[in-house]
Chains A and B, each alone.
Chain A
Amino acid sequence: MTDEITRRDFLRRAVVGGAAAIGIGELVAVRADMADAASSPTIAVASKRRPAELVRASVEALGGIGKFVKKGNRVVIKPNIGWARKAEQAATTNPEIVAEIVRLCKQAGARDIRVVDHAVDRPDALVLRMSGIEAAARKAGAQVSLASSPALYEKVSLPKGRALKSVSVIRDLRRADVFINVPIAKVHNTTGLTLGIKNMLGAVWDRGAFHRSSSLDQAIVDCAAEVRPHLVILDAIRILLTNGPKGPGRTADKGIVVAGTDQVAVDAYAATLFDRKAEQIGHLQRAHAAGLGEIDLRRVNVRHV
């Protein structure tokens, strides 16, 4: 072989280089688009329907599932399957919601749909069964598993982290094309409320590190800055008002599903269901300050459906 550039080589490089240039251009355009969207985020609030229809209506209001899930995508859904509690106790995400999201993704042509979480309660088999999510999501066509081995996690460094410098996140979630966060709205003894951003704590291996860090709220935000969902669908059909996050406690039937791509905005709206202001919730305040999303609902385009 010589170092000379042959004609064929030249042509190949020209084509590849050109394509790359166009690709970068596209990317810049997309980024700009996203930035534009972030300046005035839209969230959809669906109410007065059965659970599955709440999901459909809210996602439809955001432009339909096709906007998020493309044919052949690998989708990971992260509900809250943290506790060995029954769905009606409102400590875990409503199984009908999870199942409906799975069905939507399937219709959009997703190749592989996984439902994952990292339960606090033991053992996994019991948590999966009691929550009802395993049966419902599996029937809808997803693989359901709880990640209870460090081998299933991947280390993610948090270069901008102030309380944490790295975190181990469920590998499936990192490798997914589309990541959908499906929290349930609950009060939380330490963080005030647990909504979408706090739900990410269930995707990490060493939760203790968050509590041992200089600030739990900041650690949650550090992690959320790096592990960002493409879509948040928050379950507020029945919310837990006392003794959260595990209960048993008082619940309230709100009959609402909130969807959006701006996680802080979704959480800020959900906070109002508890008659709380998002600014009072430490980790939401910090998330907004870190530029993760809009906390002021006056600047959020709330679409009621």
Chain B
Amino acid sequence: MSKRLRLLRRVSQALFSAGFLVLFAVAAYPLLSPVPVDLFLRADPLLALSTMISLRQLVFPALWYALTVVVLTILLGRVFCGWICPMGTAIDACERLFGIRGRRPSAAPRLSSLKFYILLAILITAALPSAHRKAAEPSISGSVGLSAVYLLDPVALLTRTLTLTGLPAAHWAIGMGGDVLNGWNGSDAVQDHPWIAVLLSPLQMAYGLVGRPEGAYFRLSAITFLVFAGIIALSRYARRFWCRNLCPLGALLGWLGRLSPIRLRVSEECTRCMRCVNECKVGAISDDPHHYSGPECIECYSCIAVCPENAISLARGHRGEEREDDLRLGRRRVLAAMGAGVAAVALPKVGLGVRRTDAGGQVLKLSSMRLIRPPGALAEDEFVTACVRCGECMKVCMTNTLQPAVGEGGLEALGTPIIVPRVGPCTQPCDLCGRVCPTRAIQPFSIEEKDYLYVGTASLDRSTCIAWAQDKECLICDEACSYDAISQDVVDGVSRPVVHEPICTGCGICEWVCPVEPRGAIRVNSSGDKRHLTRNEQRAIRELADEGTLEQGSPYPGL
């Protein structure tokens, strides 16, 4: 009995991690999963809470999923951390794989309060008004806060790590294998000796099953990997260093778990052999095995499994002298955490990233010529605060065009998705990113709506366009345009491409196909971004454009 709970917990960890990986894998075209692929992100109460505070509105359907974890925690304590969290399991697995044991409990750093301060700072950052919502008057309800939760939320962090580093690595490995195989099959030796091809055919079949991925590449992949590797490396100081000291989700669940009516009971059989103290993953048991910290315990039940006297058991009842629910926060440090939350809002504000210009009702960041958001994205300030940088949209994107922003939107937009046309176009018959966003920062949209979800405008540089500057027969941009937004001007007998701005949605396929290397002579910029308008207003603009009412270069109606 005593070991059965631990076994059950390990099985649970394995199943949930497998589920997490499967959902990650199937977050891809044609996206047929009956279970939402962003299930773990939706179920993360910290992401939901922080986003709802910073966005000043309820976020559905994430709220319902998150509430189930909240209820689970109130009933059973931090079981999410011990039994479900894929990050926790990843840390457990890495500790085992690399033989990381941590220091002795007495020598381990005692920083367990730190995570509560981090949680507090994140929530303060989310609550403070950071930007005004559209043209609304300054007020709390007319403002949005800033997202800091993305930095340290474990589910977002792990999904992001998988997307930005795991996916390219997997694609690279498969692609290399395929190239080698193709090279062998195409070599003269194999052509001359077909029996070698027969020997290679099982490999060829296996490769055919996997299929050749269109290799993904991402910016920020190295730094994302280093953050994850750092979290694993910290376990050298104490096992699950991340969970016990840093994780803001663990802090939130620990705080909620204080309501749990289940506790550990230590009977008089205890001989103070200290095995449970040494075995506890999160250092929740004090030097005296009769006492443990409720908010720290992740309900892994290793202590029950290792106790040679079977002295530890689960007991009902909220109060017991074994469990201590005090968070042990210092007043001075709480103030410091609040200060850090304020600083997190202030810091991006002193950079040029948020210097704005107001063009015909739309607010553009000066740094943001290339800040081209996916279709369906909320208006910029709301988008930046709602996006948790999980990377699901970049994972599901078929053309790899969605990349984490580095400098395009300033510090506050670090890691948010942008279209980088030279990597790939936002292909017209695709609505995937709108279907996987856990916080609906990218609102669902239909393929038909993409005709008027303006995210930018292409502009043609006639000094480098080979049709304009060199009289070459090239209209590839016109060929490829999915929206018929490029037409031809015949000048001196040569056809030359011209962008019809009111129709152009900024999908970037023209920039992608342009044969002028390396940058392309036609480039998308954010000037046509109309996310500050409602969809109906954007559709109205498109209808005017179709009627021919909107002429080239004429200002758009100030809708």
Contacts and interface: CB of A to CB of B under 8 A. Distances in A.
B186 A171 contact: yes
Interface stretch (B19-27, B254-262, B424-432, B550-558): B424-432
B212 A149 contact: yes
A31 interface: no
Scoring A124, A126, A207 by chain B CB atoms within 10 A of each residue's CB, the highest score goes to A126
A121 B508 CA distance: 11
A294 to B, nearest CB: 25
Contact of B475 (A123, A171, A189): A189
B342 interface: no
B175 interface: yes
Interface stretch (A51-59, A208-216, A230-238, A256-264): A208-216
Contacts of B2: none
A246 B482 CA distance: 8
Interface in B328-373: none
Contacts of B479: 120, 188-190, 245-246
A122 B512 contact: yes
Nearest to A147: B212
Contacts of B214: 122-124, 148
Nearest to B478: A189
A84 B476 contact: no
Contacts of B474: 190, 211-212, 216
A246 B495 contact: no
A128 B484 CA distance: 22
A243 interface: yes
> What bracket does the count of chain A residues touching chain B fall in?
20 to 34
Given A84-B429, A122-B427, A212 B515 contact: yes
A289 interface: no
Given A125-B29, A190-B479, A212-B474, A207 B515 contact: yes
A188 B479 CA distance: 8
Interface in A265-298: none
B516 to A, nearest CB: 8
Contacts of A148: 212, 214
Contacts, number: 91
A119 to B, nearest CB: 11
B309 interface: no
Contacts of B466: 211-212
Interface residues of B, number: 38
Contact of A151 (B30, B182, B480): B182
B8 to A, nearest CB: 40
B399 A246 contact: no
Nearest to B477: A189
Contacts of B478: 189
Given A148-B214, A149-B212, A189-B475, A121 B427 contact: yes
Nearest to B517: A208
B251 interface: no
Contacts of A212: 466, 472, 474, 515
A120 B474 CA distance: 15
Interface string B500-519: 00000000010011010100
Contacts of A171: 186
Contact of A84 (B424, B427, B495, B513): B427
Nearest to A216: B473
Contact of A246 (B429, B430, B473, B481): B481
Given A121-B427, A121-B480, A190 B398 contact: no
Closest 9 CB pairs of A and B: A208-B515, A211-B474, A216-B473, A123-B398, A122-B399, A151-B179, A190-B475, A189-B475, A211-B515
Given A123-B29, A126-B430, A216-B473, 19 more contacts: A121-B427, A121-B509, A122-B399, A122-B427, A125-B29, A126-B427, A130-B429, A149-B212, A151-B179, A152-B182, A154-B186, A189-B475, A190-B474, A207-B515, A209-B515, A211-B466, A211-B472, A212-B474, A243-B484
12 contacts: A122-B424, A126-B430, A149-B179, A151-B178, A151-B179, A152-B182, A189-B479, A190-B474, A207-B515, A208-B515, A211-B466, A246-B479
